Amino acid sequence: DSPRAVANTFGKKIEGYLDVFRTKAFRDRWGLPSLMLLTVTTSMTHMANIIDHLAKQKSGYTDRFLFKAVPLFGLSWRVPKTPLSDLLLDPWDRANGPLLLDRA
């Protein structure tokens, strides 16, 4: 996806999520003290475009958005035969640098 397409599609979702973070709606709705949003997409390019778009928002909440690219999920969706342990063990990408989930 192009940066413009990301701004038009996923960008709208980001705006909604940023509003959830600003208003702390996750506390009232789900009783959570804090929230991190994990997003898995199908390509490195798409992930990079989303991260770039998010970084431009200057919201103060960009560190709450974590991303992974899993090409296996691509156009012809395939369910892996084994769990994707790297989703838990490897760092997730974000606008201000990678993060391991156990350090979140």
For 5-58, how does the pLDDT look when each residue is reduced to its tens digit (9 = 90+)?
666 788 889 999 999 999 999 999 999 999 999 999 988 998 999 999 999 888
Q: What are the structure tokens assigned to 78, written together? A: 């395939």
Listed in sequence order, the residues at least 6 apart from 101 whose beta carbon sits closer than 8 Å to its beta carbon are: 66, 88, 92
The count of structural domains within the chain is 1
Report CA-CA distances (Å) from 9 to 1, 22, 26: 10, 21, 23
Expressed as residue numbers, the domain containing 15 is 3-103
Give the global pTM: 0.84
